Chains A and B, each alone.
Chain A
Amino acid sequence: MSSLSYLVSRLLQIIPTFLLVMVVIFLLVRMLPGDPAIAMADAKATEAQLELIRQKLGLNEPLVMQFFYFVKNTLSGDMGTSILLKAPVLDVIIERIPVTAFLTLYAVCLSILIAGPLAFVAALNKNRGLDIAIRSGFQVGLSTPVFYIGLLLLTFLAASLRLFPVGGYGTTFLQHLHHLMLPALTVALYTSAIIMRNLRSAVIEVLDADYVQFARSKGLSRSVILGRHVLRNALISTVTLLGLSIGNLMSGTLVTETVFAVPGLGRLMLEAIFARDYPLIQGLTLTFAVMVSLVFLFTDMVQAWLDPRLRLS
């Protein structure tokens, strides 16, 4: 029961945030000089077509009403027509979502596999050579731009050694795994550099916690202590950190998709920007915001599930 009310209150919190998100996206196109209808239409649009768009967006009415129309249209799934792809924005985006979602999840799994064990090793060897080496490595990673990591992996592992395809997405699940290996690794290296430092301190903190001291004094074996007590509690901070870094992760995905020619939302966003395809830019910006909020929500849920204190308070 308490979990349910927690979920409901958390869902209600999203509504005001989302109204403001809509305001930002609405104002974005209104910032353009001149008639928004011209920006939202094809360059070859006739005056009659422009008038139709003006009516649909309510451009002849006050700004507040225009915003109302914008929210109404968006909620009914009508985000306009992409100038670039000559198709409804919603359809174009829905078609690309699985690719970006796959890449993001893949990257999350890889970054846990990379940062997790290394954070543990670093924490267990606190301030010794191995710890310093691992931390220095991630410090360098933190100063490396995502597109550069991607370009290096692409050059050495895909173009020279031919271990992986140079781009694309593939058709079956295994092909997806193979094609997206390098893009996901690129995002994962960058993400693990971001979460590594905090994860290491989290593990150190858990190692010093009273319940771990207690488990040690009970005479539990090292592997049981690490596996049952430390790992579970360190997992909570990993989930939180990854959840909070989702914005960074998505930013990384955007760049990586461009480097590896992955047909996802990020690459579409850049194509839309160069084509000045404003309906598509609006739709994509909204989609990214929705994805981030969903991840924030999901993070809160997982956290509550892993950490009973949050659920019950």
Chain B
Amino acid sequence: MTQLDTLQATTPQKKKLHPRVKALLRPGFLLGFFILSSSILLAVFPWAFAPYDPNAFDFNAIQKSPSWAHPFGTDNLGRDTLSRVIWAYQVDMQIAFFATFFAMVIGVVVGSLVAYHGGIADVLFGRLVDVTITFPFLVLVIAVVAVLGPGLTNMYVAVTLVQWVYYARLTRAEIMTQMTSDYASAGRVMGYSSTRIIFRHLLPNATTPLITYWMTDMALAILLGSSLGYLGLGAQPPQAEWGVLIAEGRNFITTAWWMSLMPGIAIVVTGLGFSLVGDSLADVLRPRGAS
């Protein structure tokens, strides 16, 4: 009998996957991860993937429709559209990072300080949020670009000036929730400095929503960057950037549709990659114990 018991006990049961592992194996995450890693590869090594020089004119191949030689066709100056789309990864992935990263850093620091110390700073911050959401985001950004002048660097400055408020608002809300927890009170009782409590105890517990938001925001930054490029306020031609490429193709849309269509697909796919990974990360990073 005892032997049978041990036998039953050691019989391999159906393996139960850890919920985090399960979240990582979801098709949405796998697809998003694949898209993101290929995008990063294309951004870092464009010369290894682009079949032609993105800026080389070929007057024998003007506005050629997609073929084996030119899978995405060629533009009005005979430049290979595929190569231009690939070289644009560099610029647009940069936009995704630079248009969000500094806003996040500033927003996280200001948001946690305001939440922790409260008082007049918190009231003023509340007003600032009210004002910021009163402007349509794009209107405020392009108004700042209008003052600074068009271009990528000025676009980063403009977006950061506006976007940090949204990060700060999110951080503030997260820290406020964390502050009611026992470990925060414990830290205060132990006499830890506010800097230590905020950055060592409260913030690490607020990272999940922040990272998820950051991922979504990077997707939005690519949309914003390409929109500004399309409008002529972001990256400037002849630099290959998806929005700029679409704008270049706009005048030839009936004769050479591929000039605008192809860069747009790159935007959609990359944006999708960021948001798919962002969605799944929320499940992967969720604290232990929560379901």
Binding site for B on A (CB under 8 A): 16-17, 20-21, 24, 28-29, 31-32, 139-140, 142-148, 151-152, 154-155, 159-160, 246-251, 254-255, 258, 269-270, 272-274, 276, 278, 281, 284-285, 288-289, 292-293, 296
Question: Which residues of chain B come closer than 8 Å to A258, judged between CB atoms?
Answer: 231
Q: In which size bucket is the chain B interface?
A: 35 or more
Given contacts A144-B268, A154-B253, A155-B257, 16 further A-B contacts (CB under 8 A): A16-B127, A20-B128, A31-B147, A31-B148, A142-B219, A144-B264, A146-B223, A147-B231, A151-B260, A159-B253, A251-B139, A254-B139, A254-B142, A269-B142, A285-B140, A296-B134
Question: Which residues of chain A come closer than 8 Å to B128, judged between CB atoms?
Answer: 20
Question: Which residues of chain B come closer than 8 Å to A155, judged between CB atoms?
Answer: 253-254, 257, 260
Contact of B268 among A20, A143, A269, A278 (CB under 8 A): A143
Q: Are B131 and A20 in contact (CB under 8 A)?
A: yes
Interface centre among B146, B219, B261 (most CB of A within 10 A): B146
Once bound together, how far apart are the Cα atoms of A293 and B133, in whole Å? 9
B contact face: mostly helix, strand, loop, or mixed: helix
4 A-B pairs with the lowest CB-CB distances in the bound complex, closest first? A143-B271, A251-B138, A250-B136, A273-B146
Binding site for A on B (CB under 8 A): 127-128, 130-131, 133-140, 142-148, 219, 223, 226-227, 230-233, 243, 246, 250, 253-254, 257, 260-261, 264, 267-272, 274-276
Q: Are B146 and A281 in contact (CB under 8 A)?
A: yes
With both beta carbons as reference points, the residue of chain B lying nearest to A244 in the complex is identified as B133
Contact of B136 among A29, A147, A154, A292 (CB under 8 A): A292
Q: Are A145 and B227 in contact (CB under 8 A)?
A: yes
Q: Are B275 and A139 in contact (CB under 8 A)?
A: yes
A contact face: mostly helix, strand, loop, or mixed: helix
Contact of B130 among A20, A28, A32 (CB under 8 A): A20
* Given contacts A144-B271, A145-B267, A270-B231, A28 and B147 within 8 Å (CB-CB): yes
Contact of A288 among B135, B231, B272 (CB under 8 A): B135
